[in-house]
Structure 1
Amino acid sequence: MQETITVDLVEVSSFKALAVRTGMTPDKSGTRFAWSKLAEHVPLDDARLAGKPAAYVFIPQQQWNKQVDTLWVGLEVREFGAVPDGIEKLAINGGLCASARVLGDEAHMWRVYETMFSWLEQSKDYELDQRDGIFGMETVPLEPLNALTIPYKDIETFNFTMLYPVRRKAESR
């Protein structure tokens, strides 16, 4: 059976997030450590939380043209309120995003990344918006299973949506 991976253009609203910064680690434990710290200070019953239960992994988009080394793991909030030490406030710009869905094993996940970046490279109209302060996002559902509580090596099914801000090529000139 042929696997179909599609990249769509979707509009994302701007929002606020409380997040924990982390680095890339060889064993991919950085996001799990950041999630643990975030959940300790911003529990899932926190009145500030907005939207459906999902975590975000935020990627500064200018990193895509070199090496991704800094990420944030966050939760969408209606308001920042009191922010504990080690938690950062992020204002996420809304706008047009290239989006692709990952639901499968690790090999499938890497094929989706490859498809996304091939689409961006080949698009006549759009390019990744790599201006300072622009974050790409990967949304991770927290139900029925929160993958950020499972060691990366133990994940059998990767389940998240890529949302990478794009802009018309003419806008960058």
Structure 2
Amino acid sequence: MFVTRVERAQFSLLVVKVACSGEAVRQGWKELYQRLDPDSMQRLTAASYGYVLVPEWQWDSGVRDLWVGIKAWPEMTAPEGTAVIDIPERQYAKIRVHGDRRKMEEAYEELNRWFMQSELERDTSISSYSIEANALFPVNPFDIPAHVISYFQYDIYAPIKPN
């Protein structure tokens, strides 16, 4: 398990805002999915990801809100109860979570350790988000109840503060 520094291009997400809990994330995913039109549903392919955005500016007081979403496309209209969030091009510290809950905790600890040992700072400014990218196929992790899921495979992208 190791951290790499990566650059991600600008992209937009169609999201719903949820409370910071595994069950709320899954409920938000269901709500988002129900709001998608047939054209949007057809665009969810084997290459699709479900995203969880973590607002970095909330870490000091405790993260209360998350956003759950899918990549938006230019002509997409946000259905009622959703929003589009634009994520700018920027650098991230990336680590892969691959394993049980203990491995997930170790990945977050390793990410924090990497920032402490690096000359780089985590960007906790307003409108800065960490991104958790979850493959939706072959198994959609958002379809597994939070109290049941025992295996995790997703990438964490923690924003790096610009120089």
Instruction: Report the TM-score, using the length of structure 1 for normalisation.
Output: 0.86
**Inter-partner Cα distance in structure 1 for 2:38 and 2:134:** 14
Tell me which residue corresponds to 2:27: 33
Question: What value does the CA root-mean-square deviation take over the aligned residues?
Answer: 2.0
Query: Does structure 1 residue 61 correspond to structure 2 residue 24?
Result: no
Contact 1:9 1:99 in 2 (8 A): yes
The equivalences for 1:91-130 within 5 A come to 91-123=86-118, 125-130=119-124
Q: Do the aligned residues in 2 keep the contact of 1:101 with 1:160 (CA within 8 Å)?
A: yes
Does the 8 Å contact 1:17/1:75 carry over to 2? yes
Distance 1:100 1:44, change over 3 A: farther
Output the amino acid matched with 2:33: A
CA drift of 1:66 comes to: 3.0
Q: Distance in 1 between matches of 2:144 and 2:38?
A: 17
Moved more, 80-89 or 140-149: 80-89
Further displaced range: 64-73 or 7-16: 64-73
d(CA) in 2 for partners of 1:45 and 1:106?
35
The letter for the 1-side match of 2:16 is V
1:7 to 3, 12, 15: 3
Read off the aligned partner of 1:116 and give its amino acid letter: L
1:158 matched to 2:161? The reply is no
Query: CA–CA distance in 2 between the matches of 1:118 and 1:93?
Result: 25
TM-aligned CA deviation for residue 118 of structure 1: 1.2
With over 3 angstroms needed to count, the CA separation of the structure-2 counterparts of 1:30 and 1:44, relative to structure 1, is farther
SS of match in other structure, 1:79: coil
Give the direction of change, closer, same or farther, for the CA distance of 1:44–1:112 in structure 2 (3 Å limit).
farther
- Identify if the C-alpha distance between structure 1 residues 92 and 127 changes in structure 2 by more than 3 Å, giving closer, same or farther: same
- Matches of 1:106 and 1:137 in 2, distance apart? 18
What are the superposed Cα offsets for residues 58-101 of structure 1, whole Å, 9 maximum, x if unpaired? 01111223311110001111225322211011011121000000
Unaligned runs of 5+ in 1: none
Using the aligned pairs only, state the percent identity: 28
Q: Runs of 5+ in structure 2 lacking a partner?
A: none
TM-score of the superposition, structure 2-length normalised?
0.91
